A and B are shown apart, each in its own frame.
Chain A
Amino acid sequence: MDSCTQVIDVAGGWRLPEAFQSPDVELQAAKKAVVLGDDTSRGKILVQGEDCARAARQAFGAAPDAVGTWVEAEGVELSRLRPDLLYCGTPPERLSFASEALRSAAQGMTEPLTITDVTHGRFELRLLGPAAGNLLSRVCGLDFHETRFAQGHVAQTSVAKTHQLIIRADVANLPAYRLIGGRALGAYVWDTLMEAGRDLQLSPIGWLGLQRLT
């Protein structure tokens, strides 16, 4: 990864780049062009089973009904990947809450439900800025036009020849995407995106900058 000024310790035992230039410069870049940040410390839970949405509704009070959409509830982002598969993304400090809420909800379900913490198995990158969709079009065949993949959409697809989950989660009126993929490919994906976005003035954003945006 690109050289950052300092590493910061965040919840869950994670260490992340604090900043690459300065949060101010990085925020300006996000507003003008596009930035890429490492948000891997977020909690990631898979909920499998026919009752996945019922369990989520019981745990958090809401759940996405349609495949390909997500909703937020109790600070947790719930994405419907299949009728029988739900992805739950949480801030690092909400992981154990989400996990426990789901497990207790699972008790009441009739169909078998599998709740798996895959936080360590996936990287999570954030791509923010007006040129984010354009950059994604360099590495992904999905149609990122506003009418086709708007805020609230989610898709599993091929990004830079790797399998990824893309969540459209805008921030501060900026188009923004979460890219979630296999941890072992994280370094490759970061480098590939950085190269693909060179002519779009893509630059890295650190933890502090991401925090100020969100």
Chain B
Amino acid sequence: MSGRRIEPQPGETIDRGCTVRFRFDGRQLEGYAGDTIASALTAAGVQVLSRSFKYHRPRGLLCGAGHCPNCLVQVGDEPNVRACRRPIEEGMEVAPQNVWPSLQYDAMALTELVSRFLPVGFYYKTFIRPAAMWPLYEHVLRNAAGLGAIDETTTVGGDFDKEYLHADVAVIGGGPAGLSAAVAAVEQGARVLLLDENKTLGGHLRFSGDGDDGRTRVGAWRESLGKGGATVLTQTAVIGHYQNHWLSAVRGNRLYKIRAAGVVVATGAFEIPMVFDGNDRPGVLLGTAVQRLIRLHGVAPGRRAVVVTASDAGWDVATDLVQAGVEVAAIADERPGQHADQRIDTTETQVLHGHTIGAAHGRSAVRAAVLVPVDGDGPWHTVDCDLIAVSTGWNPSLELAYLAGARSRYDEDLGEMRLQAVPDGLFLAGRVAGPGGLEDDVRQGDDAGHAAAEWARGGSKETGTTAAGQRTPAAPTGGRSSALVAAPPTGHDKRFVCYCEDVTDVDINTALLEGYDRIELLKRYSTLGMGPCQGRMCGLQGIRHCARDTDTSVADTGRTTARPPVTPVSLGALAGQRMEPVYLSALHDWHVQQGASMMIAGPWLRPEHYGDPVAEVGAVRQTVGLIDVSPLGKLQLTGPGVATMLERLYVNQWQDLRRGRVRYGMMCNDEGIVLDDGVCARLSEEEWYVSTTSTGAAGALEWMEWWRQSGWGEGVHITDMTETFAAFNLAGPRSREVLQQLTERDLSKAKFPYMRARRAEVAGVPCLLLRIGFTGELSYEIHCPAGFGRYLWETLVEAGGSFGLRPFGVEAQRVLRLEKAHLIVGQDTDALSDPIAADAAWAVRLDKGDFLGKRALTRVSSEGPRQRLVGFRTGRRVDALREGLQIVDAERRIIGWISSCRHSPTLDETLGLCWLPADMAAREQSTFTVFVAGRLEAAQVHHGPFYDPEGARLRS
């Protein structure tokens, strides 16, 4: 292993006995089990992990905490993997992102040379004209934009799924505050769920402070949680908080949807970078990143370091560096006066108070740091180094608290956001609520855990809120953040505020000058904070820049709205397991075996045809056909109040319908618009069987239940029988003969005439038979228990064999009904169609009592509809006529449209239904023109059915 690996550290998470081989950018490398990709690469001396989004500048590890975009790499087919979080695995194939043709020589890096021609808002300004050029622009931009590569031929990242979790108290963050909160809640008897995004619990105790003591305490907390039955999920990132404490979290390929009564947010704080010249050069690392590498992975990220700080935190980092054998060449401490730490030997290390960093020199790796006086007054110190550890500022991880509705305000004294108010059931503990010492964290976690458990038990709102400002920021050991908006410029290099989108302080200033002077506008125009880190690295810096350059206080500048997901999530995790319910008829397998072409019809799969829809139409007209109509909505209505309720829900009359009879029915809403249609059969005085359209079945049931449950359903029970019964329509002149073979029930016209319902045993199966005729032929709708559906269907097919029976599909049925000019609700009607206009005035009984739509239809009836649904024919075959085409007048103004159109094989002409102005529709045989792709086609108005207008066949 490389010389970057140091002596074993007491709390390290690597197993030095287990070597793991992987490849990066084509190179074979080694690390230890427990290494992250980033720690293994650092140990191997690899500093450049990727190139930046816009300028393709070389980038290396920066935050080490899973926030910044610098270490995003491609792992196999999975793009945008955070190298500082993902553990290495044997044989893993890792590739850098945003590089072409290679990491070392990147062609797009030339964009940096022309960067003064790539100002902020470049895309908006440049690529808008000439418009004809957009396809070319788009092609180039699409290739230049985006992060990583996706193989569109496979499922990236394997299978994904989701899981629901439930808890009394969900604790987010497994640091000292979160752990003590979880333990306190468990001790209160609460069902606790602890979520942490790291591999191991402990938060900053893993890599800072007195390691041994920290580990002992974490061990004890863990044990208490285990005993208390808490669920602990590590490597789990909480990405959203929604209404009523609904959390979403991602762990690997699983998305968790979590419902908690109370939530403890103990998400801590994260270190943020400093704005200085060349602040993105590989070798510039945040202080905690350095500590993580040393203490968790036993890796020294450099040989000669410069530490930049504004508090004692930087001195901790310097101490860790010295202990790891790294030479600390200089410490620049922003604070004036003496803060010398006896752990640092000042004879070895140059200590510069009142100084900060002005520039990092170097290109693919840091060569030197330029340290400058904070007040700009005094000489610069150029210090050779290969590592710059920046420990100048923190920001609390308030994102989830914001999503939950918490408010914050910038605290000038602390240099960070402070919480103002939190919503009910939310409790904050630890560093997220303000700086403090370890014991403060633990005590506050304990309080929050107790309060959350009490809240979950139904505690009062008063005790349920952790008031903001409860924490005293006295002598914060974590340290106050740098007071500087940015270091004094040295003029050497770009100064990045936003690493994800390559936004510099100059870009921000330009955007402000252009008038984008509100933080939300600034964000959208400059794309500041819109990359993978979602503003974690740059949010506060952007606000400070905006405040400074607009002469506003930081507090009054406000912040941009927090939105989920807090951290990037793969689309696969959001999609989860594919769950698309599809309704299959009891005959589905038979249809498929017979080679049916299946189509989606509402929630169902139905046979469109069995190969030859024209022949299917012919069979029904000449002999007999059989269609599966199981998707029809089927409702059983029982009780003394059914007739009364139907009178109110349907436009038709029902009280007079006698037992054993069937009637067509149409439902409208109070606007008089057609909602659904079907037939209602009165099986006995108080038992009705009602069918609805196949696609509208669920909606019709909800509609009926709505009225039933809000005053119109006295003495009515509705039972959905849609899936209980399979249903077929046996249609055609020979259908009686086919069916009569299988039943003892007399099917003669005298005993079982048109529009009647009869119970009968068919081939031993108890059935309900309805003599109704959508197809226009003698036909029987057969309803039988679904489990016997296939048996009965096959029996019918066999019985009809000698009569030339053919199964027919939806397409043939559409032709058959069109030959009869029957409308289909939803096909020939829309959200503006009333039954009078839709040529169903015969069904509307305005002389009965109140019903849904009566008032509107009374008006339509007296004034007459403006448009009417009417038949049309052409006398020939016109394949160009299609559904949806517009009907135009002599000036080619649109006056109507075709709602249904087919070539009728029976009549050998193209015909259909269309919407026309009422006066035109009233004139039988009047000619109109249809606009077909620039041409005009003529058609004639036709009244009534095209086929068998007297209806003799269906009554036969």
A in complex with B: yes
Taken together as a complex, chains A and B put the C-alpha atoms of A121 and B788 apart, in Å, by 11
Cβ of B227 within 8 Å of any chain A Cβ, yes or no, is no
Shortest distance between the CB of A168 and any CB in chain B (Å) = 16
B163 touches A182 (CB 8 A): no
- Complex contacts, B787 vs chain A, CB 8 Å: 13-14, 119-120
Shortest distance between the CB of B785 and any CB in chain A (Å) = 4
Cβ of A61 within 8 Å of any chain B Cβ, yes or no, is no
- Complex contacts, A178 vs chain B, CB 8 Å: none
Shortest distance between the CB of A35 and any CB in chain B (Å) = 19
B577 touches A192 (CB 8 A): yes
Q: Quick one: which of A122-165 are within 8 Å of B by CB?
A: 122, 137-143, 145, 147-148, 160-162
Chain-A contact segment, one of B716-724, B774-782, B862-870, B935-943: B716-724
B639 touches A188 (CB 8 A): no
Cβ of A69 within 8 Å of any chain B Cβ, yes or no, is no
Q: Quick one: which of A179-214 are within 8 Å of B by CB?
A: 182-185, 187-189, 192, 195-196
Known contacts: A14-B787, A188-B582. The answer to whether A143 contacts B166 by CB under 8 A is: yes
Shortest distance between the CB of A146 and any CB in chain B (Å) = 10
* Nearest B-chain residue to A15, judged by Cβ: B787
Taken together as a complex, chains A and B put the C-alpha atoms of A91 and B264 apart, in Å, by 48
Cβ of B382 within 8 Å of any chain A Cβ, yes or no, is no
Q: Mark B574-599, 1 if CB is under 8 A from A, else 0.
A: 00010111111110100000000000
A112 touches B715 (CB 8 A): yes
A183 touches B721 (CB 8 A): no
- Complex contacts, B786 vs chain A, CB 8 Å: 120-121, 183
Taken together as a complex, chains A and B put the C-alpha atoms of A196 and B787 apart, in Å, by 27
- Complex contacts, B725 vs chain A, CB 8 Å: 120-121
Taken together as a complex, chains A and B put the C-alpha atoms of A195 and B165 apart, in Å, by 19
A196 touches B723 (CB 8 A): no
Taken together as a complex, chains A and B put the C-alpha atoms of A200 and B725 apart, in Å, by 36
Taken together as a complex, chains A and B put the C-alpha atoms of A122 and B720 apart, in Å, by 11
A137 touches B785 (CB 8 A): no
Shortest distance between the CB of B79 and any CB in chain A (Å) = 24
- Complex contacts, B581 vs chain A, CB 8 Å: 160-162, 185, 188-189
Q: Give chain A's interface residue range (CB within 8 Å of chain B).
A: 35 or more
- Complex contacts, B163 vs chain A, CB 8 Å: 137-138
**Which one of B162, B166, B717, B724 contacts A183 once the chains associate, using CB atoms below 8 Å?**
B724
A48 touches B164 (CB 8 A): no
B577 touches A195 (CB 8 A): yes
B583 touches A118 (CB 8 A): no
* Nearest A-chain residue to B641, judged by Cβ: A112
Taken together as a complex, chains A and B put the C-alpha atoms of A11 and B10 apart, in Å, by 69
**Which one of A121, A143, A161 contacts B579 once the chains associate, using CB atoms below 8 Å?**
A161
A184 touches B604 (CB 8 A): yes
Taken together as a complex, chains A and B put the C-alpha atoms of A161 and B388 apart, in Å, by 53
Cβ of A46 within 8 Å of any chain B Cβ, yes or no, is yes
**Which one of A118, A148, A195 contacts B724 once the chains associate, using CB atoms below 8 Å?**
A118
Shortest distance between the CB of B231 and any CB in chain A (Å) = 10
Cβ of B491 within 8 Å of any chain A Cβ, yes or no, is no
Cβ of B761 within 8 Å of any chain A Cβ, yes or no, is no
Taken together as a complex, chains A and B put the C-alpha atoms of A145 and B167 apart, in Å, by 10
* Nearest B-chain residue to A135, judged by Cβ: B163
B719 touches A141 (CB 8 A): no
A141 touches B257 (CB 8 A): yes
Known contacts: A120-B787, A161-B579, A196-B577. The answer to whether A112 contacts B719 by CB under 8 A is: no
Q: Quick one: which of B552-585 are within 8 Å of A by CB?
A: 577, 579-585
Known contacts: A14-B787, A120-B725, A160-B579. The answer to whether A112 contacts B164 by CB under 8 A is: no
Cβ of B638 within 8 Å of any chain A Cβ, yes or no, is yes
B785 touches A120 (CB 8 A): yes
A118 touches B719 (CB 8 A): yes
Shortest distance between the CB of B565 and any CB in chain A (Å) = 20
A196 touches B164 (CB 8 A): no
Known contacts: A118-B724, A137-B164, A138-B163. The answer to whether A184 contacts B583 by CB under 8 A is: yes
- Complex contacts, A46 vs chain B, CB 8 Å: 719
Cβ of B458 within 8 Å of any chain A Cβ, yes or no, is no
- Complex contacts, B585 vs chain A, CB 8 Å: 184
- Complex contacts, A147 vs chain B, CB 8 Å: 191
Cβ of B234 within 8 Å of any chain A Cβ, yes or no, is no
Taken together as a complex, chains A and B put the C-alpha atoms of A184 and B789 apart, in Å, by 12
Taken together as a complex, chains A and B put the C-alpha atoms of A63 and B694 apart, in Å, by 36
B162 touches A138 (CB 8 A): yes
Taken together as a complex, chains A and B put the C-alpha atoms of A68 and B579 apart, in Å, by 27
A187 touches B161 (CB 8 A): no
Shortest distance between the CB of A134 and any CB in chain B (Å) = 8
- Complex contacts, A140 vs chain B, CB 8 Å: 164
Q: Give chain B's interface residue range (CB within 8 Å of chain A).
A: 35 or more
Cβ of B636 within 8 Å of any chain A Cβ, yes or no, is yes
B723 touches A116 (CB 8 A): no
Taken together as a complex, chains A and B put the C-alpha atoms of A13 and B785 apart, in Å, by 12
Name the residue among B161, B166, B588, B724 with the largest chain A CB count within 10 angstroms: B724
A182 touches B166 (CB 8 A): no
Cβ of B640 within 8 Å of any chain A Cβ, yes or no, is yes
Taken together as a complex, chains A and B put the C-alpha atoms of A184 and B720 apart, in Å, by 13
Q: Mark B679-722, 1 if CB is under 8 A from A, else 0.
A: 00000001000000000000000000000000000010101111
B717 touches A49 (CB 8 A): yes
A120 touches B717 (CB 8 A): no
Cβ of A114 within 8 Å of any chain B Cβ, yes or no, is yes
Q: Quick one: which of A77-119 are within 8 Å of B by CB?
A: 112, 114, 116, 118-119
A145 touches B191 (CB 8 A): yes
Shortest distance between the CB of A22 and any CB in chain B (Å) = 27
* Nearest B-chain residue to A113, judged by Cβ: B717
Shortest distance between the CB of B588 and any CB in chain A (Å) = 8
B724 touches A121 (CB 8 A): yes
Known contacts: A141-B257, A145-B191, A183-B786. The answer to whether A114 contacts B638 by CB under 8 A is: yes
Shortest distance between the CB of B728 and any CB in chain A (Å) = 15
Taken together as a complex, chains A and B put the C-alpha atoms of A82 and B630 apart, in Å, by 28
Q: Mark B817-844, 1 if CB is under 8 A from A, else 0.
A: 0000000000000000000000000000
Taken together as a complex, chains A and B put the C-alpha atoms of A192 and B638 apart, in Å, by 36
**Which one of B191, B719, B788 contacts A116 once the chains associate, using CB atoms below 8 Å?**
B719
- Complex contacts, B719 vs chain A, CB 8 Å: 46, 48, 114, 116, 118
Q: Quick one: which of B716-749 are within 8 Å of A by CB?
A: 717, 719-725
Taken together as a complex, chains A and B put the C-alpha atoms of A142 and B786 apart, in Å, by 30
- Complex contacts, A195 vs chain B, CB 8 Å: 577
- Complex contacts, A143 vs chain B, CB 8 Å: 164, 166, 259
A148 touches B166 (CB 8 A): yes
- Complex contacts, B715 vs chain A, CB 8 Å: 112
* Nearest A-chain residue to B784, judged by Cβ: A120
Shortest distance between the CB of A71 and any CB in chain B (Å) = 23
Taken together as a complex, chains A and B put the C-alpha atoms of A114 and B787 apart, in Å, by 22
- Complex contacts, B259 vs chain A, CB 8 Å: 141, 143
- Complex contacts, B720 vs chain A, CB 8 Å: 121
Shortest distance between the CB of B694 and any CB in chain A (Å) = 11
Taken together as a complex, chains A and B put the C-alpha atoms of A147 and B582 apart, in Å, by 34
A183 touches B577 (CB 8 A): no
Taken together as a complex, chains A and B put the C-alpha atoms of A94 and B955 apart, in Å, by 43
Q: Mark B162-199, 1 if CB is under 8 A from A, else 0.
A: 11111000000000000000000000000100000000
Name the residue among A112, A162, A192 with the largest chain B CB count within 10 angstroms: A112
Known contacts: A183-B786, A184-B585, A188-B581. The answer to whether A120 contacts B724 by CB under 8 A is: yes
Taken together as a complex, chains A and B put the C-alpha atoms of A145 and B580 apart, in Å, by 27
Given A112-B717, A142-B164, 19 other A-B residues pairs in contact with their CB atoms under 8 A:
A46-B719, A48-B717, A112-B640, A114-B639, A114-B719, A120-B786, A120-B788, A121-B723, A121-B786, A137-B163, A140-B164, A143-B166, A161-B581, A182-B723, A183-B786, A184-B604, A185-B583, A189-B581, A196-B577
- The 5 A-B residue pairs whose C-beta atoms are closest, nearest first, are A121-B724, A184-B583, A120-B785, A114-B717, A143-B166
A-B contact pairs, 23 of them (CB 8 A): A13-B787, A112-B638, A114-B639, A114-B719, A119-B724, A119-B785, A121-B721, A121-B786, A138-B162, A147-B191, A148-B166, A182-B583, A182-B722, A182-B723, A183-B586, A184-B583, A184-B585, A184-B630, A184-B722, A184-B723, A185-B584, A187-B588, A196-B577
